[in-house]
Protein backbone atom coordinates (compact mmCIF):
# COMPACT_ATOMS: atom_id res chain seq x y z
CA UNK A 1 0.00 0.00 0.00
CA UNK A 2 1.15 3.51 -0.72
CA UNK A 3 1.39 6.48 1.54
CA UNK A 4 -2.01 7.88 0.57
CA UNK A 5 -5.37 6.18 0.84
CA UNK A 6 -7.69 7.74 -1.75
CA UNK A 7 -10.43 5.11 -1.85
CA UNK A 8 -12.66 6.83 0.78
CA UNK A 9 -12.58 10.05 -1.24
CA UNK A 10 -13.52 8.08 -4.32
CA UNK A 11 -16.79 7.02 -2.68
CA UNK A 12 -17.87 10.64 -2.34
CA UNK A 13 -16.96 11.44 -5.95
CA UNK A 14 -18.80 8.38 -7.26
CA UNK A 15 -21.97 9.21 -5.34
CA UNK A 16 -21.84 12.86 -6.40
CA UNK A 17 -21.60 11.80 -10.06
CA UNK A 18 -24.60 9.52 -9.66
CA UNK A 19 -26.59 12.35 -8.14
CA UNK A 20 -25.68 14.72 -10.99
CA UNK A 21 -26.57 12.32 -13.79
CA UNK A 22 -29.96 10.70 -14.09
CA UNK A 23 -29.37 7.00 -14.67
CA UNK A 24 -32.99 6.09 -15.45
CA UNK A 25 -35.62 8.45 -16.88
CA UNK A 26 -38.23 9.38 -14.33
CA UNK A 27 -36.17 8.11 -11.38
CA UNK A 28 -34.21 10.36 -9.07
CA UNK A 29 -31.47 8.88 -6.94
CA UNK A 30 -32.14 9.75 -3.25
CA UNK A 31 -29.40 11.68 -1.48
CA UNK A 32 -27.77 9.57 1.26
CA UNK A 33 -28.01 11.06 4.76
CA UNK A 34 -24.21 10.98 5.14
CA UNK A 35 -23.52 12.88 1.91
CA UNK A 36 -23.57 16.38 3.41
CA UNK A 37 -21.50 15.30 6.41
CA UNK A 38 -18.90 13.70 4.17
CA UNK A 39 -18.74 16.89 2.14
CA UNK A 40 -18.06 19.06 5.20
CA UNK A 41 -15.81 16.53 6.95
CA UNK A 42 -13.95 14.61 4.22
CA UNK A 43 -12.25 11.33 5.10
CA UNK A 44 -8.56 11.23 5.83
CA UNK A 45 -6.19 10.47 2.97
CA UNK A 46 -3.22 9.41 5.07
CA UNK A 47 -2.44 6.21 6.91
CA UNK A 48 -0.52 8.00 9.67
CA UNK A 49 -2.52 7.93 12.87
CA UNK A 50 -2.41 10.87 15.21
CA UNK A 51 -1.27 10.32 18.77
CA UNK A 52 -4.15 10.06 21.22
CA UNK A 53 -4.22 13.05 23.61
CA UNK A 54 -3.26 12.18 27.16
CA UNK A 55 -5.91 13.05 29.71
CA UNK A 56 -3.59 12.50 32.65
CA UNK A 57 -0.02 13.73 32.97
CA UNK A 58 2.46 10.88 33.44
CA UNK A 59 4.32 10.57 36.68
CA UNK A 60 7.81 12.07 36.16
CA UNK A 61 9.28 9.80 38.83
CA UNK A 62 8.05 6.67 37.14
CA UNK A 63 10.37 4.63 34.92
CA UNK A 64 7.57 4.11 32.43
CA UNK A 65 7.39 7.86 31.79
CA UNK A 66 10.39 7.67 29.46
CA UNK A 67 8.97 4.64 27.65
CA UNK A 68 5.52 5.54 26.36
CA UNK A 69 3.29 2.56 25.62
CA UNK A 70 -0.07 2.18 23.96
CA UNK A 71 0.05 5.61 22.35
CA UNK A 72 -2.81 4.91 20.00
CA UNK A 73 -5.12 3.32 22.57
CA UNK A 74 -7.62 5.69 24.21
CA UNK A 75 -7.20 6.20 27.92
CA UNK A 76 -9.84 5.34 30.47
CA UNK A 77 -11.66 8.50 31.50
CA UNK A 78 -12.83 8.30 35.12
CA UNK A 79 -15.20 10.74 36.81
CA UNK A 80 -15.88 11.13 40.56
CA UNK A 81 -19.51 10.17 39.99
CA UNK A 82 -18.52 6.73 38.71
CA UNK A 83 -17.39 5.44 42.11
CA UNK A 84 -20.42 6.98 43.85
CA UNK A 85 -22.77 5.48 41.29
CA UNK A 86 -21.18 2.05 41.67
CA UNK A 87 -21.52 2.14 45.46
CA UNK A 88 -25.16 3.21 45.36
CA UNK A 89 -26.36 0.63 42.85
CA UNK A 90 -24.37 -2.09 44.60
CA UNK A 91 -26.40 -1.42 47.75
CA UNK A 92 -29.67 -0.80 45.86
CA UNK A 93 -29.70 -3.09 42.79
CA UNK A 94 -33.50 -2.96 42.45
CA UNK A 95 -33.30 0.73 41.63
CA UNK A 96 -32.03 -0.33 38.21
CA UNK A 97 -35.31 -2.19 37.63
CA UNK A 98 -37.39 0.98 37.87
CA UNK A 99 -38.44 2.33 34.45
CA UNK A 100 -36.71 5.56 33.48
CA UNK A 101 -37.26 8.15 30.77
CA UNK A 102 -33.95 9.41 29.38
CA UNK A 103 -34.98 12.72 27.84
CA UNK A 104 -33.38 16.15 27.78
CA UNK A 105 -34.97 19.31 26.50
CA UNK A 106 -31.99 21.46 25.57
CA UNK A 107 -29.04 19.32 26.69
CA UNK A 108 -28.44 21.63 29.66
CA UNK A 109 -30.93 20.19 32.11
CA UNK A 110 -28.20 19.68 34.71
CA UNK A 111 -27.76 23.47 34.92
CA UNK A 112 -31.34 23.87 36.16
CA UNK A 113 -30.75 21.62 39.20
CA UNK A 114 -29.79 23.10 42.55
CA UNK A 115 -28.60 20.20 44.71
CA UNK A 116 -28.22 22.45 47.74
CA UNK A 117 -32.01 22.31 48.14
CA UNK A 118 -32.16 18.52 48.43
CA UNK A 119 -32.98 15.56 46.24
CA UNK A 120 -36.27 16.98 44.98
CA UNK A 121 -35.64 18.91 41.77
CA UNK A 122 -38.33 20.47 39.54
CA UNK A 123 -39.03 18.29 36.53
CA UNK A 124 -36.50 15.63 37.55
CA UNK A 125 -37.77 12.25 38.82
CA UNK A 126 -36.20 10.75 41.93
CA UNK A 127 -33.58 8.21 40.85
CA UNK A 128 -30.19 6.96 41.90
CA UNK A 129 -28.60 9.72 39.84
CA UNK A 130 -30.19 12.25 42.18
CA UNK A 131 -28.46 10.56 45.09
CA UNK A 132 -25.12 10.63 43.27
CA UNK A 133 -25.33 14.32 42.37
CA UNK A 134 -26.50 15.32 45.85
CA UNK A 135 -23.70 13.31 47.48
CA UNK A 136 -21.12 14.84 45.16
CA UNK A 137 -22.38 18.34 46.02
CA UNK A 138 -22.02 17.67 49.74
CA UNK A 139 -18.51 16.30 49.29
CA UNK A 140 -17.32 19.24 47.18
CA UNK A 141 -19.04 22.18 48.89
CA UNK A 142 -19.50 21.00 52.50
CA UNK A 143 -16.16 19.17 52.72
CA UNK A 144 -17.85 15.98 53.90
CA UNK A 145 -16.34 12.55 53.66
CA UNK A 146 -17.75 10.06 51.21
CA UNK A 147 -19.31 7.89 53.94
CA UNK A 148 -20.91 10.79 55.85
CA UNK A 149 -22.37 12.36 52.70
CA UNK A 150 -23.66 8.98 51.59
CA UNK A 151 -25.43 8.39 54.92
CA UNK A 152 -27.10 11.82 54.80
CA UNK A 153 -28.29 11.49 51.21
CA UNK A 154 -29.39 7.90 51.71
CA UNK A 155 -31.58 8.96 54.65
CA UNK A 156 -33.20 11.63 52.49
CA UNK A 157 -33.68 9.14 49.68
CA UNK A 158 -35.41 6.59 51.93
CA UNK A 159 -37.74 9.26 53.31
CA UNK A 160 -38.78 10.43 49.84
CA UNK A 161 -39.26 6.87 48.59
CA UNK A 162 -41.47 6.18 51.60
CA UNK A 163 -43.55 9.27 50.84
CA UNK A 164 -43.98 8.11 47.24
CA UNK A 165 -45.14 4.67 48.34
CA UNK A 166 -47.64 6.15 50.81
CA UNK A 167 -49.02 8.54 48.19
CA UNK A 168 -49.35 5.71 45.68
CA UNK A 169 -51.14 3.45 48.18
CA UNK A 170 -53.57 6.21 49.19
CA UNK A 171 -54.30 7.03 45.53
CA UNK A 172 -55.08 3.36 44.83
CA UNK A 173 -57.39 3.14 47.86
CA UNK A 174 -59.26 6.28 46.84
CA UNK A 175 -59.63 5.04 43.27
CA UNK A 176 -60.99 1.68 44.45
CA UNK A 177 -63.41 3.43 46.75
CA UNK A 178 -65.04 5.21 43.79
CA UNK A 179 -65.20 2.02 41.72
CA UNK A 180 -61.88 1.73 39.95
CA UNK A 181 -60.57 -1.73 39.19
CA UNK A 182 -56.91 -2.67 39.01
CA UNK A 183 -55.54 -5.82 37.46
CA UNK A 184 -52.86 -8.04 38.86
CA UNK A 185 -49.72 -6.45 40.17
CA UNK A 186 -46.27 -7.39 39.01
CA UNK A 187 -45.84 -9.46 42.17
CA UNK A 188 -49.05 -11.40 41.49
CA UNK A 189 -48.02 -12.04 37.88
CA UNK A 190 -44.60 -13.22 39.00
CA UNK A 191 -46.10 -15.60 41.56
CA UNK A 192 -48.51 -16.98 38.95
CA UNK A 193 -45.67 -17.62 36.50
CA UNK A 194 -43.69 -19.31 39.26
CA UNK A 195 -46.67 -21.54 40.15
CA UNK A 196 -47.09 -22.53 36.50
CA UNK A 197 -43.43 -23.50 36.25
CA UNK A 198 -43.72 -25.51 39.46
CA UNK A 199 -46.72 -27.42 38.11
CA UNK A 200 -44.83 -28.15 34.88
CA UNK A 201 -41.88 -29.35 36.94
CA UNK A 202 -44.12 -31.71 38.96
CA UNK A 203 -45.41 -33.27 35.73
CA UNK A 204 -41.87 -33.69 34.41
CA UNK A 205 -40.66 -35.09 37.76
CA UNK A 206 -43.51 -37.62 37.82
CA UNK A 207 -42.64 -38.86 34.33
CA UNK A 208 -38.94 -39.11 35.22
CA UNK A 209 -39.75 -41.06 38.40
CA UNK A 210 -41.98 -43.47 36.48
CA UNK A 211 -39.26 -44.02 33.86
CA UNK A 212 -36.63 -44.70 36.51
CA UNK A 213 -38.88 -47.17 38.32
CA UNK A 214 -39.63 -48.94 35.02
CA UNK A 215 -35.91 -49.19 34.22
CA UNK A 216 -35.14 -50.46 37.71
CA UNK A 217 -37.85 -53.15 37.53
CA UNK A 218 -36.70 -54.25 34.08
CA UNK A 219 -33.13 -54.57 35.33
CA UNK A 220 -34.29 -56.68 38.30
CA UNK A 221 -36.28 -58.99 35.99
CA UNK A 222 -33.29 -59.31 33.68
CA UNK A 223 -31.01 -60.28 36.57
CA UNK A 224 -33.59 -62.87 37.76
CA UNK A 225 -33.78 -64.50 34.34
CA UNK A 226 -30.00 -64.69 34.13
CA UNK A 227 -29.84 -66.42 37.55
CA UNK A 228 -32.49 -68.97 36.48
CA UNK A 229 -30.61 -69.74 33.25
CA UNK A 230 -27.40 -70.29 35.19
CA UNK A 231 -29.20 -72.72 37.56
CA UNK A 232 -30.74 -74.72 34.67
CA UNK A 233 -27.35 -75.05 32.97
CA UNK A 234 -25.80 -76.25 36.21
CA UNK A 235 -28.48 -78.98 36.62
CA UNK A 236 -28.12 -80.10 33.01
CA UNK A 237 -24.36 -80.73 33.30
CA UNK A 238 -23.38 -84.33 34.31
CA UNK A 239 -21.93 -84.77 37.74
CA UNK A 240 -18.48 -86.46 37.60
CA UNK A 241 -18.30 -89.74 39.56
CA UNK A 242 -15.07 -90.60 41.35
CA UNK A 243 -14.20 -94.35 41.59
- Give the pLDDT confidence of 113-136 residue by residue, as tens digits: 899 988 988 888 899 999 999 999
pLDDT at residue 1 in the model: 44
Residue 187 has pLDDT above 90, yes or no: no
Mean pLDDT of the 214-229 span: 73
pLDDT at residue 36 in the model: 85
Least confident range of 64-73, 80-89, 95-104, 223-232: 223-232
pLDDT at residue 159 in the model: 95
Say what the pTM is. Answer: 0.53
pLDDT at residue 139 in the model: 93
pLDDT at residue 198 in the model: 94
pLDDT at residue 16 in the model: 85
Mean pLDDT of the 58-77 span: 67
Average pLDDT, the chain: 81
- Give the pLDDT confidence of 133-158 residue by residue, as tens digits: 999 999 999 999 999 999 999 999 99
Residue 232 has pLDDT above 60, yes or no: no
Residue 46: band (very low, low, confident or very high) from pLDDT cuts 50, 70, 90: low
* Structural domain spans, the chain: 1-47, 80-177
Residue 74: band (very low, low, confident or very high) from pLDDT cuts 50, 70, 90: confident
DSSP assignment string, the chain? --SB--HHHHHHHHHHHHHHS-SSTT--PPPPTTHHHHHHSPPP-B-PPPPPPPSSPPPTTSGGGGS---TTSPPPP--HHHHHHHHHHHH-GGGGGS------SSS-GGGG--GGG-S-BTTB---HHHHHHHHHHHHHHS---HHHHHHHHHHHHHHHHHHHHHHHHHHHHHHHHTT------HHHHHHHHHHHHHHHHHHHHHHHHHHHHHHHHHHHHHHHHHHHHHHHHHHHSPPP---
Position with higher pLDDT, 146 vs 109 = 146
Amino acid sequence: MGGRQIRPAGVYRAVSEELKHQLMPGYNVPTPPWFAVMNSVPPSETLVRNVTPRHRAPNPNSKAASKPKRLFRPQNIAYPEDALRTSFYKDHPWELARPRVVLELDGKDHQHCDWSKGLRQPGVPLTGESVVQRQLWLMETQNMSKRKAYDIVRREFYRLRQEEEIEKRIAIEEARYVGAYFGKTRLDIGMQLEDNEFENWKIWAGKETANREARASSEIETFGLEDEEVGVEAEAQPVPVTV
